[in-house]
């Protein structure tokens, strides 16, 4: 099954280009490995500001740069991996139990997030040390 970081992957979505422009689409459970329960997006993020800085116990996400670009650093409590998102038809699948930091937003960036669950505050880790303790406890079992 591999580590959580190894399960993260960029997924290229189907594209239908024609003279009028491009069309891409996402079908939950087909193009991404979960059914979509919630969609939200970030935009007008000021220069130098970071977003994210949290982890999830159960929530899976698929994150896309609908416009512009930004980076995502994922952390499993031991290792880190950084991805740059800059194409509206290529997104990043993020399984549960990874800390995420979103940075380096371009001036026109729009970050869309597809989530496997509805909002549940109890699913969040907002303290990095608590996340690492929980992640390490899970590895020892």
Instruction: Catalogue the active-site residues.
Output: 54
3-state helix, strand, coil in the chain (%, to 5): 15, 45, 40
Alpha-carbon distance of 141 to 137, in angstroms, equals 7
CA dihedral (76, 78, 79, 85) positive or negative: positive
Element (H, E) at 132: helix 128-140
């Amino acid at each position: 099954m591999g580590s959580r970081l190894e399960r993260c992957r960029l997924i290229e979505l189907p594209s239908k280009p024609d003279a009028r422009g491009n069309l891409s689409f996402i079908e939950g459970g087909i193009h991404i490995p979960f059914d979509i329960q919630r969609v939200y997006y970030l935009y007008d993020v000021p220069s130098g500001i970071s977003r994210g800085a949290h982890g999830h116990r159960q929530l899976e996400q698929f994150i896309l740069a609908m416009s512009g670009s930004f980076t995502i650093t994922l952390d499993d409590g031991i290792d880190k991996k950084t991805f740059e998102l800059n194409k509206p038809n290529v997104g990043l699948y993020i399984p549960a139990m990874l800390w995420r930091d979103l940075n380096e937003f371009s001036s026109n960036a729009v970050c869309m997030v597809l989530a496997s669950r509805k909002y549940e505050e109890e699913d969040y880790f907002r303290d990095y040390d608590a996340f690492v303790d929980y992640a390490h406890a899970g590895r020892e079992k």
